[in-house]
Amino acid sequence: MPNHPVREPDFDPYDTPPDPPIHYAEQALLGALLLEPHRREAIGPLGPEHFARPLHGAVFAAAATLTPPDPAVHIREPVWLASILSHAGPMTPALTPSYLHTLIACAGMPEHVAEYAGMIRADHARRSVRVHAELLIQAACDPTLPDPVGVALARADALTALIDDLGSRVSPHPGSLPRTPSPRSPSRDTGEEATSEEQILLSTATARPGCLPTMRWLQAEDFAVPLHGQLFRCLTSLAHRGAPVDQVTVLWETQHQGILTEAINARDVLEMLATPAGSAHHWGEQVLRRSLLHSAHTTGLRIQAYADDRTNTPHQLITGTRRALAELTAVRVRWHRATSPTPATPPRPRAPATTRAGPRTPSTAPATARASR
């Protein structure tokens, strides 16, 4: 039978996706303000920047800036619409008289403007969180930055400040955890440089195990290669027990930990531990640095997923973001412990010198005080 090609469906350039609910909430609020200008006193804190569509923000800015007309005049003449059009029109050429009438038709219930304003603020909060999450992801993935860790932590601080500000305006309620599935974790950097530095760290720590007690800020989960993390766990286990540490004792520990397989044999482990170089502390910092950036990337993706899920309420978004940032903070604390200089232990103050008491000598009473027999 002849093979007939499957015809692709025609693409209609005018087939635009439907508007999200926030579009209609903005139209309802603006329409209510066009019908009843005095309703703007009930909308609470709201600014043009809260609107998703710049055209709506320009109309709101005009409605919030201009003085409403007298109610009697407003009923008879469209002076209010003309004032808003003349004020916002030069900055927004897309604003037309017909669209103002469209807004009036979508006014809904003017007495519900406070609820509409709350919807607009909530959606603006969601978009703001998403923008900060994108900035965090960019900082964690940009190798051209001179200090990617510093930039990523600054982005995390900005996101934390935003969440704290939003949390002060949203009252908590039960059942506030996001229902959004966590996105797939990004792949770790297992390039030649990262792999080589992890192996050098293992070799150096094996040759000079005295550094292990001072490197408690590094964990097996920080290694990009899982096998390297397992070997580091063997090293720390030996050091914690006070057992001797060398290539053979580490190899023996790998046998007890179930690390040796057909793919990884004893000779492979000994080769990984045979190239010490430099300072284990330095290589450990490099491993932790990559782990911190990976954690920042993962955190940004999770928060972005929460913000993209429109089913999450503002409080669910705030709670999920805080939990994601807490995981990044745990790695951040270990990073500061690794990179901060250890404060010198102040010398213990010496106790002031005291005069040693000598043997007591009996005092001789004066001759005049002696009892006479």
HEC assignment per residue over the chain:
CCCCCCCCCCCCCCCCCCCCHHHHHHHHHHHHHHHCHHHHHHCCCCCHHHCCCHHHHHHHHHHHHCCCCCHHHHHHCCHHHHHHHHHHCCCCCCCCHHHHHHHHHCCCCHHHHHHHHHHHHHHHHHHHHHHHHHHHHHHHHCCCCCCHHHHHHHHHHHHHHHHHHHHCCCCCCCCCCCCCCCCCCCCCCCCHHHHHHHHHHHHHHHHCHHHHHHCCCCCHHHCCCHHHHHHHHHHHHHHHHCCCCCHHHHHHHHHHCCCCCCCCCHHHHHHHCCCCCCCHHHHHHHHHHHHHHHHHHHHHHHHHHHHHCCCCCHHHHHHHHHHHHHHHHHHHHHHHHHHCCCCCCCCCCCCCCCCCCCCCCCCCCCHHHCCCC
Q: Is residue 47 part of a domain?
A: yes
What domain range includes position 273?
Answer: 192-288
Q: Do 300 and 154 belong together in one domain?
A: yes
Q: Is residue 165 part of a domain?
A: yes
Q: In whole angstroms, how far apart are CA 346 and each of 26, 349, 350, 353?
A: 63, 9, 12, 20
Give the CATH number of the domain where residue 74 resides.
1.10.860
Q: Is residue 204 part of a domain?
A: yes
Q: What is the mean pLDDT of residues 235-249?
A: 94
Q: Which of 50, 53, 56 is nearest to 33 (CA)?
A: 56
Instruction: Indicate the residue type of 18.
Output: P
Query: What number of CA atoms fall less than 13 Å from residue 217's CA on the CB side?
Result: 24
Q: Do 182 and 204 belong together in one domain?
A: no
If phi over 0 gives left and psi between -120 and 50 gives alpha, with beta otherwise, what is residue 290?
alpha
Query: Could you give the CA distance from residue 202 to residue 170 in angstroms, rounded to a whole number?
Result: 49
Q: Is residue 211 part of a domain?
A: yes
Q: Do 197 and 277 belong together in one domain?
A: yes
Query: Could you give the CA distance from residue 180 to residue 308 in angstroms, rounded to a whole number?
Result: 9
Q: Is residue 137 part of a domain?
A: yes
Q: What is the mean pLDDT of residues 347-367?
A: 50
Query: Could you give the CA distance from residue 238 to residue 249 in angstroms, rounded to a whole number?
Result: 8
What tokens does 180 get? 């959004």
Q: Determine what percent of the chain is predicted with pLDDT higher than 70.
A: 86
**Domain final residue pick, 256, 288, 320:** 288
Task: Please tell me the predicted confidence (pLDDT) of residue 371.
Answer: 43
Q: Do 311 and 257 belong together in one domain?
A: no
Q: At residue 130, does pLDDT exceed 90?
A: yes
Query: Could you give the CA distance from residue 48 to residue 120 in angstroms, rounded to a whole number?
Result: 10
Task: Please tell me the predicted confidence (pLDDT) of residue 369.
Answer: 44
Query: Could you give the CA distance from residue 83 to residue 235 in angstroms, rounded to a whole number?
Result: 76
Indicate the number of domains in the chain: 3
Q: Do 180 and 315 belong together in one domain?
A: yes
**Domain final residue pick, 60, 79, 108:** 108
Dmax over CA atoms of the chain, in Å, equals: 152
Q: Which of 224, 199, 360, 340 is nearest to 293 (CA)?
A: 224
Q: Do 198 and 269 belong together in one domain?
A: yes
Q: Do 300 and 167 belong together in one domain?
A: yes
Q: Which of 281, 293, 340 is nearest to 145 (CA)?
A: 293
Q: Is residue 362 part of a domain?
A: no
Chain centroid, CA 210 distance in Å: 35
What tokens does 75 get? 């009923």
Q: Is residue 51 part of a domain?
A: yes
Q: Is residue 140 part of a domain?
A: yes
Q: Do 73 and 222 belong together in one domain?
A: no
Q: At residue 58, does pLDDT exceed 60?
A: yes
What tokens does 190 get? 């297992």
Q: Do 279 and 305 belong together in one domain?
A: no
Q: Determine what percent of the chain is predicted with pLDDT higher than 90.
A: 74
Q: At residue 71, does pLDDT exceed 50?
A: yes
* Cβ count within 10 A of residue 134: 15
Q: Are 249 and 273 in contact (CB under 8 A)?
A: no
Q: Do 204 and 171 belong together in one domain?
A: no
Task: Please tell me the predicted confidence (pLDDT) of residue 282.
Answer: 96
pTM, entire model: 0.83
Give the CATH number of the domain where residue 250 resides.
1.10.860.10
Reported confidence tier of residue 182, pLDDT bands at 50, 70, 90:
confident
**Domain final residue pick, 288, 304, 330:** 288
Long-range contacts at 344-350 (CB < 8 A, ≥ 24 apart): none
Q: Do 181 and 300 belong together in one domain?
A: yes
Q: Do 156 and 299 belong together in one domain?
A: yes
Task: Please tell me the predicted confidence (pLDDT) of residue 373.
Answer: 39
Query: Could you give the CA distance from residue 46 to residue 208 in angstroms, rounded to a whole number?
Result: 62
Reported as a single tens digit per residue, the pLDDT across 274-324 is 999 999 999 999 999 999 999 999 999 999 999 999 999 999 999 999 999
